Amino acid sequence: MPTTVNGIGTHYYGKRNRSVRRGQCRSCGHVGDLASYDTRLWFVVIFIPIIPLGRKRIIDDCPSCRRHYAAKADEFAIASQLTVSEGKDRYQSEPTVDNALDAHARMLGYHQHDESDAFRKELLERFPQDAGLRAGLANHLDQVGRYDLAAALYAEAHGLEPELPEARVGVAFARMNEGKLEEARRLLSHLEAPGAGQVYSLGPLETLATLYQQRNQHEKALELFRHLLNEYPDAAQLHGVRKMVQVSEKKLKARESILPSREESWLGIFNPWSRGYSSGQKWGAFLGLVGILFATGMALYNDQIRRNRTLHIVSGLTKPVTVQVDNGPPFEVAKQGTVTLPEGAHQVNVSGPVQAAYNVTMEAPYWSRWGSKPVWVVNVAGTAGLIEMQYHYARNPTPPTWTHLIGQTFVARPHIDYPFVDPPDSLPIKKRDGFVTKSGIIVVDADPQQLIQHVTAPDDALAFLETHLPMRPEDAMLFHEYEERLTTLKKQDRGETFLKPGLDRKPVEVNWHRTYQNLLESQGRIDDLRTEYDRRLEAEPDSAMLLYLRSRFEGEAKIRREFMTKARDADPENPWPHFGLGFQAAIEGDWPSALTELQVANAKGLDPDLSQRMITLARLGSGESAKIVEESKATLASTPMDIAALFGLIDAYVSTGRLAEAQQELDAWKAQRQAILSSIAPVVEMLRLHILYGGANFTEFQQAPPPGNDTVVQRYHAAFHLANGQPGKVASDPLLAPKDEMPWDALALSVAYHLAHDDVESERWLAKACERFKTRGAEERMAAAMLTTLDPPDFEAVRDLSLEPSQKLLFLCAVAQQFPALAPQAGELAAELNVTSVPPYQLVRSVFPASKGATTDASKKAAAENETKKESGT
């Protein structure tokens, strides 16, 4: 893989002829979309391409670990075309099983997995009773790691022709893997017949004998060894064979050995072609002769190695750290650095963005110093993306495997073949069926959001985040990850202790304060927050940041708006007050005002991850669906696989009632991607359901396949059932029923049960939702209080409640059902908010039938008003 250090190294640029298949990465085991494409390898400086190093064909690029295969693009394309075409042509002209297997092998050899799947299906249908074909196909699939398919084909072959040797061996290996050794032996009985070694390879019997030996079934192991020695008498002189036989004989305390006497004299140990002695014995004898001559020199060399060991320092922080080892001179490390030290105990002191001290011990056994390559690594605060690799070399190699070391502060390994360097593309393999495994250790330069997913210990994960957060105060998503983990682990106290000292940093770090506020708010400590931020405002009454932050937990909308307006006036360039005012306008259904404020917030530097979804809603509510369609089409023209743009296009059509156009766009996009249709099937199904849901097409939905494991598709199925008056199907389905961490789903179920006139279940799910609301933020607690009171709440308080638009819609539905006197006002506000056809769109329309069509009309009216403003120059 390309590697860069401080922006200098090699890097890929460009993607052409891209294809995607759904499969399992043979490196990390991740199941996802494996991409193959043509690209160009460049030598880069500060990531700027300087020298082209050649076109490459990237094969099976894993989206999780980024490991892949690479070949020269032109050579790969020519060889793939010629080789596969030759095999297919031969099969077409002479459709025999041998030619079919040859063509299938060529397809897999050049990673044409989709073609091979289709071709294999064709072959199985064409030769439904050919056991040899199935055994051959299974052998091919075994070699590319598709073991489940291979096992199934071996089983089919065995079922068709029980005596087929290849099928029996394939099924026998499956039984060995399952630990069913007796069944495996029965299947391999043909290999125990006299003279079988002249016809078959007896390797499976050797494997079975070894497994018997591992299970301490030495009598059966010796039976097989005796047969192997009868078939291959010369094997009795091989050191490895003799050693295995001797192990079982020793365990059984056999009086006589089945091994013949060693034919060679002791002088044969010096014969390099003799296989009667192990290589270790031969080298031992040789070294014994010459050891005296080299003893002094080797001892001096050993001491030289001991005094000059390398300690690696790696860091995943955004700022350099200063490192001092023992009393040596300090030096700076940005991402990676090294220092030469003698073996022994050392103290590594780190200063700068983090303060830490590590006591490390660098030791290696005396006799290992000549041949091994020990590695010692200090990973500052466990922040670097440290990974230990295993590279496998063979004629048909398996992909590398790896182990994450992220979060560990000190790593010591007795031997690493390729520390912090790329391994060679190939190594010489002596035996035809031999293999070589090499180790490596690398650092991947990845975002903490990606690295944190591989820190398994909860406390280590929190420590990892607490190290990164002070250096990434602008990373809203990283703070959200920290908040979610604290809440899940119920360790809000730890978060408060960590965050509180940072509240005094200047300038004010909004994400830091927002996370702190959310943690206290989830515990109902609103008064503590008021006291804290009123005190801060007394000291800095004109601070825009503090005014905005003070507004966030103010329950009364008028006062909340006053704080945000003051914040905006205090610093017009600060994006956060605009964001707050935009959100406030959105939840009140004032989409034009919301759009103006949110766009200003983005223009002034707000993180788009926080505002983009609300901007899209505001644009729909303001009648800009036509613009969204135009922009989405332009994005898809340059980036066809931009799923967000595709969804924006479909939703803009559906939300304005243009269902036929939405379906046409989806069909056109899908038709251009037939080659990867299987890998994008969940996306296509989600968009298809979105169109059906937006059009209330419940009849066609009844024919939809089960939702499977895709959570988005599951949510659409639940939404369909709720809007169609079938809440029981949601409540009784484990895949669709509301989870404890999703109280709004429980409230939606309560609303649906109320529509179905099941008041008992409606009240039960309402109670569940409100109980969960009481463990969350201030707004959810207020919502719970309003829904559980006996008297109708003041509707202005309902209108002012600062909830996400989709949550606000569900809340309005529940308010209208609990307090019918408020239904007209709730319905009016719901009509303004229900601007996108995503759930709970149809459920809201079921609760407020008088508002059906209101959102479309409102959008058209807003669009007309926008056009009038443009024409008048306003």
| 3-class secondary structure per residue, 808-837 | HHHHHHHHHHHCHHHHHHHHHHHHHHCCCC
| Confidence check: pLDDT of 556 > 90 | no
Q: How far apart are CA 47 and CA 50, in angstroms?
A: 9
Estimate to the nearest angstrom the gap between the alpha carbon of 862 and the chain centroid.
41
Query: Residue 769: which pLDDT band, with cuts at 50, 70 and 90?
Result: very high
pLDDT at residue 256, rounded to an integer: 85
CA 248 from chain centre, in angstroms, equals 46
Select the more confidently predicted residue: 566 or 271.
566
Strands 321-325 and 309-314: unpaired
Q: Is the pTM of this model over 0.75?
A: no
Order of all β-strands in the sheet with 344-351: 331-333, 321-325, 344-351, 356-362
pLDDT over 90, % of the chain: 38
Two structure tokens written together for 746? 């429980």
- What pLDDT score was predicted for residue 550? 92
- What gap in Å lies between CA 376 and CA 415, rounded to an integer? 10
pLDDT of residue 155 exceeding 70, the answer is: yes
Residue 855: predicted pLDDT: 45
At residue 135, does pLDDT exceed 60? yes
Contact by Cβ (8 Å): 524, 555: no
Residue 363 has pLDDT above 80, yes or no: yes
DSSP string, 28-96: T--EEEEEEEEEEEEEEETTEEEEEEEEEEEEEE-TTT---EEEEHHHHHHHHHHHHHHHHHHHHHS--
φ, ψ of residue 704 in degrees (nearest 5): -70, 145
Domain ranges of the chain: 4-71, 308-452, 473-614, 706-870
Please tell me the predicted confidence (pLDDT) of residue 399: 83
pLDDT at 269: 57
Question: Distance of CA 517 to CAs 350, 404, 483, 553, 789, Å?
Answer: 32, 34, 10, 8, 27
Collapsed DSSP state (helix, strand, coil) of residue 805:
helix
Q: pLDDT tens, 262-321?
A: 665 555 555 555 555 666 666 666 676 677 677 888 888 889 999 999 999 999 888 899
Query: Across-strand partners of 385?
Result: 444
Q: Two tokens at 64?
A: 């999780």
More confident: 170 or 554? 170
pLDDT recorded at residue 858: 45
pLDDT tens sequence across 778-789: 888 889 999 999
Instruction: Provide the pLDDT confidence category of residue 557 given band limits of 50, 70 and 90.
Output: confident
Tokens linked to 162? 């029980």
341 confidence band (pLDDT: 50, 70, 90): very high
- Buried residues in 851-861 as b, exposed as e (16+ CB within 10 A): beebbbebbee
Of the candidate ranges 360-364, 479-483, 868-872, the one whose mean pLDDT is the lowest: 868-872
pLDDT > 70: what percent of the chain?
Answer: 92
What is the DSSP secondary-structure string of 567-620? HHHH-TT-HHHHHHHHHHHHHTT-HHHHHHHHHHHHHTT--HHHHHHHHHHHHH
Quickly state the pLDDT bin for 856 (edges 50, 70, 90). very low
pLDDT higher than 60, residue 851: no
- CA dist 874 and 530 (Å) reads 41
pLDDT tops 80 at residue 491: yes
pLDDT at 865 over 70: no
Q: Is the pLDDT of residue 79 over 90?
A: no
Question: Checking phi first, is residue 392 left (phi over 0); if not, alpha (psi -120 to 50) or beta?
Answer: beta
The per-type count for the chain, helices as H runs and strands as E runs, is 37, 17
Tokens representing 48 are 């700027």
Of 504-508, 546-550, 556-560, the least confident: 556-560
Closest to 44 in 3D by CA, of 80, 9, 68, 86: 9
What is the model's pLDDT at position 541?
92
- Mean pLDDT for the stretch of residues 405-430: 90
pLDDT at 173: 87
Q: Is the pLDDT of residue 863 over 50?
A: no
DSSP symbol at 629: H
Mean pLDDT of the chain: 85
DSSP letters along 522-557, please?
TTT-HHHHHHHHHHHHHH-TT-HHHHHHHHTT-SSH
Two tokens at 537? 């405002």
For 391, the 3-state DSSP assignment is: strand
Q: How far apart are CA 31 and CA 366, in angstroms?
A: 44
pLDDT of residue 693: 92
| CA dist 174 → 151, 155, 185 (Å) | 7, 9, 12
Six token digits for residue 492: 């809000």
Residue 342: the pLDDT is 95
Q: How far apart are CA 64 and CA 59, in angstroms?
A: 14
Whether domain 473-614 has CATH 1.25.40.10:
yes
Q: How many C-beta atoms lie closer than 10 Å to residue 401's C-beta?
A: 16
Instruction: Say what angle helices 203-214 and 218-231 make with each other, to 10 degrees.
Output: 160
DSSP tag of 355: -
Cα 311 to Cα 757: distance, rounded to the nearest angstrom: 71
Residue (of 154, 141, 150, 57) closest to 105 by Cα position: 141
Encoded tokens for 49: 């391409």
Phi/psi zone of residue 190: left (φ > 0), alpha (ψ -120 to 50 degrees), beta? alpha
Distance CA 417, CA 87 (A): 40
Separation of alpha carbons 105 and 792, rounded Å? 73
Beta-strand pair 321-325/344-351: antiparallel
d(CA 629, CA 623): 12
Inter-CA distances, 130 with 103, 116, 503, Å:
17, 18, 74
